[in-house]
């Protein structure tokens, strides 16, 4: 068992407040487990002598707190308590003196050391112990002086283990630096879309070019299948067709006149009808059969359709225009304009 404790003995009726303040100071310096209060509050049924012995076995020093009434406090019968054999304070101090434990009288509230004739026989050696005074006016200083004496007896209190150094906090995250986006960064989606569109158009053009190439190859194959030389002489338009081409004046039996202009498209001979103001008012198309010309006719002014039959007549043509909707047959002649 460790024997470096400090035993504090006091009477509650005499110096309880001062004892409490001193114990708080000593516990702060030497640790809470290094200071032992008196056993005045021993539980009922325990042997107080044994209880005091157990307490003193772990102590090197006993502080006897002595106030102005420490000697004169009496029991219920009017007898001084210090002279009673079962008085706890007497038993504590007497046991410490007998065991040669360091006993330090501490005077508080203006108390003075009692004389030998004021004490029972077993406490008389207390008068030869040098007392330490603690006054209210210089409490802190007096307590520090007492602490220095106690450190020489029980040793200095172990230094508390240093608190673990906290882990250094991580450096603050740098604030993000926002920079202005470049034109490409702001418009990259449009650029990407344009690139895709151009790629699709290029692919479509490649497909069309491929189709044109295939069509050209097919047409070339068809040409290869044909004979290289065609001895068939080209067909010349008939003399009647050649003589019908050009500009003609049409005169009808009813006295009306118009201008017909003929042109040939392959075997088809077409004509356009103009009035004397040179405004187109009709049209038609037909074929030359056995030297005669047969065509369909439509007048855009009247909305009437008809059929035209023309036959060569010297330097001109004569014939008739038939209108089925009106059953009119109108003789006509054509002369060169």
| Angle ∠(252,253,255) on CA atoms, nearest 5 | 70
Neighbours of 51 (CB within 10 A): 15
CA distance 57 to 298: 147
| pLDDT level of residue 228 (50, 70, 90 thresholds) | very low
- Average pLDDT estimate for 203-226: 58
Determine the topology of domain 5-154 in CATH.
Rossmann fold (3.40.50)
pLDDT digits (tens, 9 = 90+) for 52-72: 788 888 889 999 999 999 999
pLDDT per position as a tens digit, 263-281: 988 778 999 999 988 999 9
How far apart CA 192 and CA 235 sit, in angstroms, is: 61
Q: Specify the pLDDT at position 331.
A: 95
Cβ partners under 8 Å of residue 92, min gap 6: 7, 9, 38, 39, 52, 55, 56, 62
Average pLDDT, the chain: 82
Per-domain residue ranges of the chain? 5-154, 246-336
Which pLDDT does position 1 carry in this prediction? 47
Distance CA 285, CA 244 (A): 13
Per the DSSP assignment, residues forming a β-bridge with 288 are 293
At 250 the pLDDT is 93
Q: How confident is the model at residue 234 (pLDDT cuts 50, 70, 90)?
A: very low
Which of residues 81 and 233 earns the better pLDDT score? 81
| 143/106 Cα distance (integer angstroms) | 10
Q: Is the pLDDT of residue 188 over 70?
A: no
The predicted-structure confidence for 97-132, as pLDDT tens digits, reads as follows 999 999 999 999 999 999 999 999 999 999 999 999
Whether the pLDDT of residue 174 is over 80: the answer is no
CATH placement of domain 246-336? 2.40.128.120
- pLDDT, average across residues 159-171: 69
The better pLDDT of the pair 242, 163 is held by 163
pTM: 0.47
> What per-residue confidence (pLDDT) applies to 49?
76
Q: Judge whether 286 and 308 are in contact, CB under 8 Å.
A: yes
Q: Which residues of 196-213 are buried (b: 16+ CB within 10 A; e: fewer)?
A: eeeeeeeeeeeeeeeeee
The pLDDT of residue 53 is 81
E strand or H helix at 104, and its extent? Answer: strand 102-108
Instruction: Report which of 49, 46, 64, 47 is spatially closest to residue 6, judged by C-alpha positions.
Output: 64
DSSP string, 241-306: HHHH-EEEEEEETTS-EEEEEEEEETTEEEEEEE-TTS-EEEEEEEEEETTEEEEEEEETTTTEEE
The DSSP 8-state label assigned to residue 4 in this structure reads -
Q: How confident is the model at residue 206 (pLDDT cuts 50, 70, 90)?
A: low
What lies within 8 Å, CB to CB, of 255 at 6+ separation is none
pLDDT value at position 34?
A: 87
Count the residues in the chain: 337
């Amino acid at each position: 068992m460790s024997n470096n404790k400090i035993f504090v003995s006091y009477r509650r009726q005499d110096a309880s407040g001062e004892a409490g303040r001193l114990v708080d100071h000593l516990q702060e310096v030497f640790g809470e487990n290094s200071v032992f209060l008196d056993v005045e509050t021993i539980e009922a049924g325990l042997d107080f002598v044994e209880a005091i012995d157990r307490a003193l076995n772990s102590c090197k020093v006993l502080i006897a707190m002595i106030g102005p009434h420490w000697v004169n406090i009496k029991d219920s019968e009017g007898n001084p308590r210090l002279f009673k054999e079962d008085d706890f304070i007497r038993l504590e101090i007497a046991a410490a003196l007998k065991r040669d434990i360091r006993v330090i009288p501490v005077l508080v509230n203006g108390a003075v050391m009692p004389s030998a004739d004021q004490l029972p026989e077993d406490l008389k050696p207390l008068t030869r112990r040098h007392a330490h005074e603690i006054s209210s006016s210089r409490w802190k200083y007096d307590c520090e002086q007492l602490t220095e004496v106690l450190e020489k007896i029980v040793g200095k209190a172990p230094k508390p283990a240093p608190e673990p150094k906290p882990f250094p906090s991580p450096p603050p995250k740098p604030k993000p630096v926002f920079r202005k986006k470049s034109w490409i960064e702001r418009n990259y989606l449009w650029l990407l879309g344009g690139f895709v569109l151009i790629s699709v158009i290029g692919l479509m053009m490649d497909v069309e070019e491929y189709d044109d190439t295939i069509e050209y190859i097919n047409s070339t194959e068809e040409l290869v299948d044909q004979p290289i030389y065609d001895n068939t002489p080209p067909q010349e338009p008939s003399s009647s067709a050649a003589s019908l081409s050009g500009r003609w004046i049409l005169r009808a039996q009813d006295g009306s006149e118009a201008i017909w202009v003929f042109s040939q498209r392959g075997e088809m001979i077409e004509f356009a009808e103009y009035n004397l103001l040179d405004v187109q008012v009709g049209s038609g198309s037909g074929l030359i059969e056995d030297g005669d010309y047969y065509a369909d006719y439509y007048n855009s002014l009247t909305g009437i359709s008809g059929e035209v039959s023309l036959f060569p007549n010297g330097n001109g043509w004569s014939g008739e225009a038939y209108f089925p909707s009106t059953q009119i047959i109108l003789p006509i002649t054509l002369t060169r304009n």
